[in-house]
Amino acid sequence: MPVTVAKPLVKQITDWDEYTGRFEAVERVEVRARVSGFLESVHFREGQVVDKGQVLFIIDPRPFQAELDAAKAAVESAETAFNLAVRELKRAESLVSRNNIARETVDQRRAARETTRAEILSAKARVRIAELNLEFTQVRASFKGRVSDARIDVGNLVEGGTAQSTLLTTLLSTDPILFTFTASEAEFLKYTRLDLSGKRESSREKQNPVYLRLADETDWSREGQMYFVDNELSPETGTMRGKAIFDNPDGILTPGVFGRLRLVGSAPYDAILIPDEAVVSDQSEKMVLIVGDDAMVTAKPVKLGPRHNGLRVVRSGLGADDMVIVRGVQRARPGGKVVPQKAELQPDGTVKQAPGS
């Protein structure tokens, strides 16, 4: 019975671990007002991308403008009182030199001057507060991002300045964007030991490369870097949280969307690779069929690893010079004889017939 046999492909590769996760914004803000008042106008289209500093809402500024005018008037009044106190102190100092006024009166007028000086500073501080409150009537975007819908209509009273302030909308940054996933305790320990042995730097210290694909994509075409590894494993799930960061100029990567991520999981090593078609199962055990020089078939138990470019990594149980049945496995039985036809495994996973076979 003819079968196709080939030596395993030996190639230096790097393992990649895969994780499922979802996207989240680098920055997320609940837009709330810093002052209270009636909402006068909304200045964005719901769901659009807004620029940093763009006005989103305007709260009726008239009461705050009036407070600013009153504060400025208080400054002028305090300055007038200060000028009067200065003149009165000078007259008192000239009179005391001729003993025409008590020294106690001089002390009182000096204290009055310092009091009015302090009142000027206090009034100017109230002006700065009033200017800030007037500025806060314009609620602006704190960064460039995509805004949600307006959560309150024009004409409603907005409560501001507290943790319970009225929620006006939410704003999410879009570029770059984070991808959050979790790794098991065993995987975390593997990465830690690789780092300690010098084979692979920790993602806490180095922005290790990652690749990503969306649910409707087949290629790992989106490249990013590791961004964050948490400081503890979750006591509820026993997993470690990690984040990768990706550029998102076209905005297709959206917070909340699921994706699949590949993270470098080993140092480069020489791997033994065979096609999945060469693997047979005996209950829970995986085996490959080997053809000896006498054309006799024997079965070898193997421990398998991940797929790489269409081929399966064999962790143990197979030698680089073993002649593996890669086609016609169903026609071979351990202990039987076959007619081997030699072939060569290609790096892309295909099988090429050997010359002269």
> What is the pLDDT at residue 96?
67
Beta bridge partners of 19: 261
- Cβ atoms 239, 233 nearer than 8 A: yes
- Beta-strand relationship, 339-345 and 2-6: parallel
Q: Which fold does the domain 2-11+270-353 belong to in CATH?
A: 2.40.420
The tokens of 32 are what? 């709330």
Helices 62-96 + 103-135 axis angle, to 10: 160
Cα 207 to Cα 302: distance, rounded to the nearest angstrom: 35
Cβ count near 123 (within 10 Å): 18
The tokens of 123 are what? 């009034």
CA diameter of the chain: 136
Count of alpha carbons within 13 angstroms of residue 2, beta-carbon side: 5
CATH number of 63-135: 1.10.287.470
> What is the pLDDT at residue 73?
95
Cα 8 to Cα 167: distance, rounded to the nearest angstrom: 63
Cβ count near 339 (within 10 Å): 12
62-120 pLDDT per residue, tens? 999 999 999 999 999 999 988 888 888 787 777 766 676 777 777 788 888 888 899 99
> What is the pLDDT at residue 211?
94
CATH number of 16-25+175-264: 2.40.30.170
Cβ count near 16 (within 10 Å): 18
Residues (pLDDT < 70) of the chain are 96-98, 100, 354-357
Q: Does domain 33-58+139-172 have CATH number 2.40.50.100?
A: yes
pTM: predicted TM-score of the whole model, two decimal places = 0.75
> What is the pLDDT at residue 113?
86
- Ranges of each domain in the chain: 2-11+270-353, 16-25+175-264, 33-58+139-172, 63-135
